Structure 1
Amino acid sequence: MNSDKFSKIADSLRQYRRAELLDFQTDTKEEPINALYVDPLPSDAILKTVLLNNTTFIVGRKGTGKSTIFAKAQSELRKSKDSISIYVDVKSLHELLTTSEAPVKTIDDAEISETVYRAHLLRKGFLGSIIADLIKELSTSYQKSSLFDRWLGQKRQYKDAVESLEALAATVKSTKLTQAEIPILRIISAKTKESKKLLQSTKATAKIEAKLSSKPEAKGSAGSELFDESVSDNEVYKEYADAVLRSFPFQEIINQTREFLREAQLSRLFVFFDDFSELSWVDQKLFVDVILSPLNNASNETIKLKIAGYPGRIYYGKIDPGKVDTIGLDFYQLYKASDVQTSELAAIHYLERLLTTRFIKFQEKISSYFDPSQPLADYFRLIFEVTLNVPRLIGYVFLHCYLDKVSKGQQITASAIRLAAQKHYETVIAKYFDRMNRFAIEPFEQKLDRYNQQQLLKFLINAAKSVKKGITTGQVGGKYFDGLSNPPVSHFAINPSLEALLSSLESNFLVTKYHEMRDKSGKDVSIYTFFYGLCEAERIAWGYPRGRRDDRSYFVQRCFDYNAEIQHFLAQNKTIKCGACGACHDMKKKDMIEFYKWQCPECREGTCSVVSLRDDFQTEVEKLQKDTALPAVELDILEALNDEAVAMRAGDIAALVDVTPQLVGHRTAKLKDMGLVNKKKDTEGVVRSTITDKAKERYFGATSLTDSNEADT
């Protein structure tokens, strides 16, 4: 073993998103991206798809390898004689907007406020910087490709062509105001002036919102924040975006770029836009509508776009999603199969290729680092379960294994890997809810603020613990779980319509979608799993028992159906919601919003009110009611048990609901699997049924959705 080499291997995985990995060139003895790249699919299928002449969106959570795929694609394109590529780090350029102020400029128009004008210049400067950087990188990439001889005999020399592009870039970056922009800036100014009192306390409000905000907004100036809020209105935004687009000489940009490529005897320009999803809502929309859409739709097949983004944070604008390639990098998308075991095997095969290649390129043998008391294949499976193949998570797990084992000259054991996952959860992932002032990935149409997400996570964890207790005591599941002393309860099933509720938790790896299948009733369900480290911290067994004849149906046992649990959570929790834009705000902001007469901090036009989250998800709740509703006879059985409040034989229940004892026995067995009925033999060996607290609360309690709906009517 070589502890220094292992540390570098771990570090290279943690830095998997970096475009070049140049820190490891000495160790790999060749260009790192070519040495270390392992495609998630056999035969380099992902790479080959990215290299096709189509617009491509690569979608994956942080650390799934989007930037590495881009780097490898660019490396391959450098070998091409008829194509050239450029890379634009959108996030880095965005820092120009968020960390600097626009130059002090005045405008001879009393109807346009200085605050709005400066904020507009910042935003336009950001967009102009992207275009200017694109033009600059085109020239730089061409020079690096040593293709100057192609200009021999051309009427226009390379220097003249580059100077024309550079002059165009300078014009674009100047942020000169055009007549097309003045009318919409007047409208935006009028909107901000309506909140004069708010403008006077901008700095104080900005500080409060920075502390309390649950949304990943840009850390711009107060003027920028007010500007964003003013253009959040769809009509205002559309007019503003059109004006900004007209202010850029896009047709000239495209024409000159195409002419440059033609004279250089190149047929394609590939543009890689990275970290596109890290922009705020308004910035991302403008980026797509002002830059991506024109490049994609008006370039006459000359310019091909490759864009990296996060799940739930992709805005297509005028780009037709049906005409682009979209590649999902998360486990359940890449390796989707008819059964979960096939998906797992495909994922583990990739993990084995990834790690084996990594160790070989660092001149190390992977088996020497793991305790030989278990087969190496077992370690590959465990690492997959712990990380679900996210390279950056693998790197963090290896880092903890290095600190706990390898640095001390000890081999890695299975328990060390599980402990590493727990440490990463406790030191990084669990702190998600405390990082209020740091960037947090959340979907645009955010349904739950961070506080409610935290409550939802706790609710789900408690539900899992309750299921575990029910299984171990025999109250849930029946004979299916016989022989399991520590039943795994890490996975749960929900209706696909509820997936948006878990987007924020999934983005932060607290839960992950695992599989899609049908439940016992033939309905489509989405299977989710808690992060392995979370399960270790909460003493929850992860996975499912293998080797059983019916292990393929483990996840769809009725006790793992959390539709009703989430429905109950939605009915119980409240938030502050704007009636105009639909934005949800943390209840902690109640005093501040009330102080401003319930004006929405998001759109500045709508009026907020305290509502139940059930109202915000009324459509989903209505769908769930169908899933959680019971046949009349089963409701009758529960009602009888609730009313009698004693343990009852099947015959006694049958007499009350007017059915046969056999039917009662069959239905109570089903209700037992759902956690709604307990069945136990009395001293005489007769099976008696009682209603569970879960059933009481759901169907007969004061806080049940049924009673709430009745109260509403």
Structure 2
Amino acid sequence: MSYSQNEKDKFFEAVDSLKKYRRAEIVDESGKDLVDALYTDLLPNEQILKTCLTDNTTFLIGRKGTGKSTIFLKLQREYRKRNDVLSCYIDTKTIFESSQTEFLGIEHFGEVMPNEALKQYILERSFLQSILRSLTEEIQERSEGLLGKIKNFLGIGEAQIVKEKLRELTSSINNNELLKKIEIPSLQQITVARKSFTERSNETALNENDSIGGKVQRAEVEMEASLSSNKMNKSSRKNISELEEQFSNVFLKVFQIKNFISQLREVLSTLRIRSLVVLLDDFSEIPDHSMRIFVDVILSPLNNWSQDFIKFKVAAYPNRIYYGKIDQGKIDKINLDFYNLYSTRVDRSVMEDKALNFTKRLIEKRVKYFTNQPVELFFDIRKESIEEYYELIFQISMNVPRIIGYILYYCYESKIAYGNSINRAALTDAAEKYYELAIEPFFQSTTYSLKSIDEKISILQMRELLNGNLEKLFQERLKLRLL
């Protein structure tokens, strides 16, 4: 099989659109937005999208590459068609990273508390302030379009008042002079209370040591040391948890979250906005302690106290979610990983058929749109059917769109670019290449954002499990060859 240069280029565009990272816009060479044309729902009848568009707070739970950011792009497209809903997109990870360098205007802290605790407080404070600032700026930007539509209805004077109120809201978040009147006394109270607690703990520990001194044998001493170490670890975790809770309480006062909600609702009600939808992307990419404080201070209060006015759509990783005081019975959770999404009480083959249906729809839509050719054109179907190729791609990717994109991209490099069709060998070689470049490096080094909040298994233990599974697979392959 030989392909024209245009067919090669268009196939490349199709697979490249699948492997884009994070919130990369899906556009053609002229800049046209392709989200509506290319969006492929994981469930028939666009059921994932319809669930996300309900008025409930929704958590989209899935590994990297399962399409969370693409769903967000589609959601925003749908929300912008409505005049009674305002949607705002917040990239949690980017804001967290940028906020860690913003320490301007906080000299007023002085020696208010020990350096380590103060440093942690300032980092969390900067992050929360950046989140609120980004939210109000995003609302301001989205409101400009609405003001233009309803200026005649509101009147120029009323529209100007709305703009001024939004500016005041942003200013109050950035005004450190206003904030420090509340936080300095609050932080001093925490310092005094923690100092008193530490002194009492040290005194108790000293008394316990005196009562057993010199009366135990070596083995008992070692056991006592081990128990003491465990006790210290538990005590340390408890202290961290208590400090986070204390910081959360201070932040709620400092940023006056209830007042923030009230002002926000007043402004948006004037604009005839029935509800505000906040899309939080990369929620699981921030450290555990920051996640807990963020949920306790902003996400949970805005969700619980706004009387259904503010709703969140949150993109998160499995086992890296903290709900705080959010009532999980009142929110929607959508698991995007194929096993959780398609598993039912029926047998495995039915579950895999459902997953294969998505694999087929996803690939066919992309290839058809970009190349205007059937998928079969790019595969060697002389010995194997296209359905068998879909099944193999599913087995390789476990239905993760980004992995599908990389597998087909490697096949493009090895086959399509040279005018040859994709065959089974090309797909298995692509799977091996993806493993070497993307999977195996994870077990060399990793980051907090990929681990469970309560991770108990070390990276070395996980590597041992991986090697054990690979050895078992290798032995099974040898058996099949011998047969």
TM-score by length of 1: 0.57
The counterpart of 2:360, out of the listed 349, 352, 355, is 352
Which residue matches 1:123? Answer: 124
Are residue 53 (structure 1) and residue 59 (structure 2) matched?
no
Residue 234 of structure 1 and its aligned partner are, at CA, apart by 2.3
Are residue 304 (structure 1) and residue 304 (structure 2) matched?
no
Contact preservation (8 Å) 1:19, 1:70? no
Amino acid at match of 2:12: S
Contact preservation (8 Å) 1:432, 1:440? no
2 CA distance for matches of 1:239 and 1:152? 46
Q: Do the aligned partners of residues 419 and 165 (structure 1) sit closer, same or farther apart at CA in structure 2, a change above 3 Å counting?
A: same
1 CA distance for matches of 2:130 and 2:152? 28
Residue 154 of structure 1 and its aligned partner are, at CA, apart by 5.7
Kindly provide the CA deviation profile for residues 335-386 of structure 1, in whole angstroms up to 9, marking residues without a partner as x.
1131111111111111111111111221331221111212111111111111
Q: Map 1:606-621 to 2 at 5 A.
A: none
After the TM superposition, which of the residue ranges 334-343 and 161-170 deviates more from structure 2?
Answer: 161-170
2 CA distance for matches of 1:51 and 1:273? 15
1 CA distance for matches of 2:475 and 2:413? 35
Q: Do the aligned partners of residues 189 and 102 (structure 1) sit closer, same or farther apart at CA in structure 2, a change above 3 Å counting?
A: farther
Which residue matches 2:217? Answer: none
Q: Do the aligned partners of residues 55 and 411 (structure 1) sit closer, same or farther apart at CA in structure 2, a change above 3 Å counting?
A: same
The counterpart of 2:68, out of the listed 63, 66, 69, is 66
Which residue matches 1:263? Answer: 270
The counterpart of 1:435, out of the listed 413, 437, 445, is 445
Residue 293 of structure 1 and its aligned partner are, at CA, apart by 0.6
The counterpart of 1:288, out of the listed 295, 304, 314, is 295
Query: Alignment length, in residue pairs?
Result: 434
Q: Secondary structure at the match of 1:269?
A: strand
- Which runs of no fewer than 5 residues in structure 2 stay unpaired? 200-235
The counterpart of 1:182, out of the listed 173, 180, 188, is 188
Q: Map 1:277-676 to 2 at 5 A.
A: 277-337=284-344, 338-365=346-373, 366-373=375-382, 374-436=384-446, 441-464=450-473, 472=479
2 CA distance for matches of 1:442 and 1:464? 25
2 CA distance for matches of 1:171 and 1:452? 49
Which residue matches 2:244? Answer: 237
Amino acid at match of 2:188: I
Q: Do the aligned partners of residues 116 and 439 (structure 1) sit closer, same or farther apart at CA in structure 2, a change above 3 Å counting?
A: closer
Amino acid at match of 1:352: K
Amino acid at match of 2:463: Q
Kindly provide the CA deviation profile for residues 505-539 of structure 1, in whole angstroms up to 9, marking residues without a partner as x.
xxxxxxxxxxxxxxxxxxxxxxxxxxxxxxxxxxx
The counterpart of 1:87, out of the listed 69, 86, 89, is 89
Amino acid at match of 2:378: Y
Are residue 8 (structure 1) and residue 8 (structure 2) matched?
no
Contact preservation (8 Å) 2:342, 2:354? yes
Amino acid at match of 1:167: E
Larger Rg: 1 or 2? 1
Contact preservation (8 Å) 1:231, 1:240? no
Q: Secondary structure at the match of 1:53?
A: coil
Q: Do the aligned partners of residues 184 and 51 (structure 1) sit closer, same or farther apart at CA in structure 2, a change above 3 Å counting?
A: same
Which residue matches 1:21? Answer: 26
Q: Secondary structure at the match of 1:233?
A: helix
Q: Do the aligned partners of residues 232 and 452 (structure 1) sit closer, same or farther apart at CA in structure 2, a change above 3 Å counting?
A: farther
Q: Secondary structure at the match of 1:307?
A: strand
Q: Secondary structure at the match of 2:150?
A: helix
1 CA distance for matches of 2:421 and 2:284? 40
Which residue matches 2:209? Answer: none
Q: Secondary structure at the match of 1:141?
A: helix
The counterpart of 2:43, out of the listed 41, 44, 54, is 41
2 CA distance for matches of 1:130 and 1:241? 15
Which residue matches 2:113? Answer: 112
Identify the structure with the greater helix proportion: 2
2 CA distance for matches of 1:418 and 1:189? 61
Which residue matches 2:78? Answer: 76
- Which runs of no fewer than 5 residues in structure 1 stay unpaired? 194-228, 473-483, 488-713
Which residue matches 1:672? Answer: none
Amino acid at match of 1:6: F
After the TM superposition, which of the residue ranges 347-356 and 13-22 deviates more from structure 2?
Answer: 13-22
Contact preservation (8 Å) 2:39, 2:70? yes
1 CA distance for matches of 2:110 and 2:371? 67
Which residue matches 1:135? Answer: 136
Contact preservation (8 Å) 1:386, 1:421? yes
Q: What CA RMSD, in Å, does the superposition of the two structures yield over aligned residues?
A: 2.6
Contact preservation (8 Å) 2:284, 2:449? no
Residue 387 of structure 1 and its aligned partner are, at CA, apart by 0.4
1 CA distance for matches of 2:356 and 2:110? 65
Amino acid at match of 2:186: A
Kindly provide the CA deviation profile for residues 163-204 of structure 1, in whole angstroms up to 9, marking residues without a partner as x.
2222222222345332323322556789999xxxxxxxxxxx
Q: Secondary structure at the match of 1:401?
A: helix
Q: Do the aligned partners of residues 454 and 183 (structure 1) sit closer, same or farther apart at CA in structure 2, a change above 3 Å counting?
A: same
2 CA distance for matches of 1:445 and 1:97? 25
After the TM superposition, which of the residue ranges 250-259 and 57-66 deviates more from structure 2?
Answer: 250-259
Kindly provide the CA deviation profile for residues 571-608 of structure 1, in whole angstroms up to 9, marking residues without a partner as x.
xxxxxxxxxxxxxxxxxxxxxxxxxxxxxxxxxxxxxx
Residue 105 of structure 1 and its aligned partner are, at CA, apart by 1.5
Residue 232 of structure 1 and its aligned partner are, at CA, apart by 5.8
Amino acid at match of 2:352: E
Q: Do the aligned partners of residues 122 and 463 (structure 1) sit closer, same or farther apart at CA in structure 2, a change above 3 Å counting?
A: same
Q: Do the aligned partners of residues 71 and 192 (structure 1) sit closer, same or farther apart at CA in structure 2, a change above 3 Å counting?
A: farther
Contact preservation (8 Å) 1:125, 1:173? no
2 CA distance for matches of 1:359 and 1:467? 35
Contact preservation (8 Å) 1:116, 1:189? no
Amino acid at match of 1:83: V
